[in-house]
Structure 1
Amino acid sequence: MPDPVAVLCVLVLLGAANGSPILAKKLLRDRFAAPLDGGTILWDGRPLFGASKTIRGFLVSIVVTALVAVLLGYDWSLGALFGAASLAGDLLSSFLKRRLGLWLHDQASGLDQIPEALVPTLLLRNELGLSAGGIAVTVVAFVILALVLSRLLFALRIRDRPY
């Protein structure tokens, strides 16, 4: 049986890592929104990640996730690493979507959520107290929450579009 407290803490960290760039975009608009990939176009004529993956979002996510980790009783460095790992999963997703011919903001349910939850939970499973079952429950719960909360944030005009 997965530890429900560990799963809940990880879901909060995932929320911080993935939600803070959305809030930063809403608050800062286009300020500090340089693309993380520098506008790089690959051999297939498509961007490496796309314009929505910004340096601002990357930095905000790491800082906010580190702060939230401290509030949850973890070390800030675990939070920063968690945020970076979650973003690495998100970047992997964006990279794969571009290679599959999907463009910015095209939906790919599962591919849009699973890597950003799976990468940090696998990488930090011991530090977070997650079993294999805990990882599975966390990833499934994150996918469901991401889809539901995305629609809510869109209705509240915090997100540009729902997923």
Structure 2
Amino acid sequence: MTQTQRPAHEFETESRTFSWATPGQGDLAKLVELDGLGQLHAMRDGLMPPPPIMATLGFTDLRAERGRVVVEMPAAEFHYNPLGGVHGGVIATMLDTGAGCAVHSTLAVGELYTSVDLTVKFLRPVTVDSGLLTCEGTVIQRGRRTALAQAQLTDGAGRLVAHATSTCLIMRPGE
């Protein structure tokens, strides 16, 4: 070790503890009878657990209507990359959640979806000073087999910090 290096145990550290509900809990028989918007509302109402990624990243809100979803998360230091900004992967995950859940809100009973692609444009730096991050996802076009959605991420001051588009594949049981 050179004189300019410090052992890792000498750096100040912080910790974070979180918990999540194991996926697949709740009254699954009733949940599979719901359309996509109903499933998102079941998460909101506590009838179905939210996906663990929401706890992992610290999402604080999810609001859904058909074809539109809003998710929120305060920017935090545990989101940081080595250069002191929110990691692009965290931003991309928020955008993927917004776009994907917007498509989810359009699903008929029994339909499923998966993301085919996600194209992200990072427009400005995001730090803890950015405050509450709000992602709005909307469906641009919904077909029988595919859907195109977009998501916009704004900071606490309402400035656009990132944008994404996503194509999703719509599947039916047995496919």
* Length-normalised TM-score, structure 1: 0.31
Which one has a bigger Cα radius of gyration? 2
Relative to its length, the structure with more strand (as a share) is 2
**Structure possessing the higher relative contact order (Cα contacts under 8 Å, 6 or more residues apart):** 1
Counting helix residues as a fraction of each chain, which structure ranks higher? 1
TM-score scaled by structure 2? 0.29
